[in-house]
Amino acid sequence: MTLTAIFTGFRKAALLLGFVVIGVFSIASAQAQETASANPKSEIKSRLTDLSNLYKTEVERLEKRHQQSQQLFNDGLISRVDLEKGEKELADARAKVEQITKEIATADQPALTPEIVSELAAAGNQVWTTGDAKIDNFIRYYGGQYGVDPFLIYCTMSQESSFSAGATSPKGAQGLMQLMPGTAARYGVTNPYDVAQSIKGGTRYLKDLLKMFNGRVDLALAGYNAGEGAVMKYGNTIPPYTETRNYVRLILKRYTTKKQVS
């Protein structure tokens, strides 16, 4: 065998080995993606971790700015009001990091087994679906975390966006739960079109409304549509707005009918 033939054989073997390695990595990558998509809790934790990193970066930025502000205040170049404003922003940012850390710890808790899920269903848990398993899982996860009936979240989402993550209303409400920019900011939602953030923010808002109105679902829904201020303005009753009254009526009809059937 000539030297040229030997080198040619080596090149072919190396090329074949390269294809095999690439194939193995591709299969491993596909399996990893399939595992992640099949494990909603893992996806939730991943999203929370990404959000935590963003919050931590913001804290670092505010800490540096606060140090500069402290020096400027000592030199008499800015007022105490300006300094305290920066301190408040830093404290709020640190609180977000602390909260997201708790949520990551919660996400690490063991997932519900199929047996437990079946028991919950037998006990009266509602049978429903948005048509998207990922959205369904987020609804159940955040409903459980914040103590809001997942079926109520589902009914509200159906009326708000018809389960369209990219929905935007003429008034500026955004995402699955149709959060207004001010409400989104209140609950730390940085991207209202992100499925997890929208459901989390909307669920927390529903929880606060239910607490505010002593568990009255009708008033909580009215507050979600028209704002809690409008409900309080009219003496803790459903405001006399045609849109709001139809909104509450339609959601309650669906919510209570399903409850009675089960």
CB within 8 Å of 208: residues ≥ 6 apart: none
Q: What is the distance of C-alpha 26 from the center of its chain?
A: 30
Q: Where a domain ends, among 53, 73, 107?
A: 107
Alpha-helix runs per DSSP H in the chain: 3-38, 40-74, 80-107, 114-122, 133-146, 150-161, 181-186, 195-212, 217-226, 228-233, 242-261
Dihedral in degrees, nearest 10, Cα atoms 162, 165, 166, 170 = 50
Domain shared by 131 and 253, yes or no: yes
Dihedral in degrees, nearest 10, Cα atoms 196, 197, 200, 203 = -110
Q: Is residue 30 part of a domain?
A: no
Average pLDDT for 206-220: 96
Range of the domain at 58: 41-107
Least confident window among 6-15, 90-99, 174-183, 212-221: 6-15
As a whole number of angstroms, the distance between CA 259 and CA 218 comes to: 15
Q: Where a domain ends, among 107, 140, 165?
A: 107
Could you say which of 34, 89, 103, 160 is catalytic?
160
Domain shared by 177 and 81, yes or no: no
As a whole number of angstroms, the distance between CA 227 and CA 98 comes to: 28
Domain shared by 139 and 232, yes or no: yes
Q: What is the pLDDT of residues 93-109, one digit of tens each?
A: 888 777 777 677 666 55
CATH number for the domain spanning 250: value is 1.10.530.10
Q: What is the pLDDT, as a whole number, of residue 84?
A: 82
Number of compact structural domains in the chain: 2
Burial class (CB in 10 A: 0-12, 13-18, 19+), 187: middle
Q: What is the pLDDT of residues 59-77, one digit of tens each?
A: 899 888 988 888 887 878 8
Q: Is residue 23 part of a domain?
A: no
Average pLDDT for 48-61: 85
Domain shared by 158 and 55, yes or no: no
The sign one gets for the Cα dihedral 30, 34, 37, 40 is negative
Domain shared by 137 and 99, yes or no: no
Q: What is the pLDDT, as a whole number, of residue 11?
A: 52
Residue 43 annotated in active site: no
Q: What is the pLDDT, as a whole number, of residue 248?
A: 96
Instruction: Indicate if the pLDDT at residue 197 is higher than 80.
Output: yes
Domain shared by 152 and 208, yes or no: yes
- The candidate with the shortest Cα–Cα distance to 133, out of 210, 192, 195, is 195
